[in-house]
Amino acid sequence: GPVLTDQGNFILDWKFDPLKIVNWFDVNRTLKLVPGKINQFVLSP
């Protein structure tokens, strides 16, 4: 679940189903559009 930093920001560790085909380009683009988000890292398996 979400974790809070010392500054009150959320850290999310999101695991995708390894059996599903994921378009990582679309995931990254969608995450970039989240308002107020500071940074993101998308690591594909």
pLDDT digits (tens, 9 = 90+) for 1-45: 678 889 888 887 777 788 988 888 898 888 888 888 777 766 665
pLDDT at position 42 is: 67
What is the C-alpha separation between 9 and 5, in angstroms, rounded? 5
Distance, CA of 44 to chain centre:
11
Q: What domain count does the chain have?
A: 1
Distance, CA of 29 to chain centre:
11
pLDDT at position 13 is: 77
Q: Quote the domain boundaries for residue 20.
A: 1-45
CB 24 within 8 A of CB 42: yes
Q: How many residues does the chain have?
A: 45
pLDDT at position 41 is: 67
pLDDT at position 27 is: 84
pTM, full prediction: 0.53
pLDDT at position 39 is: 74
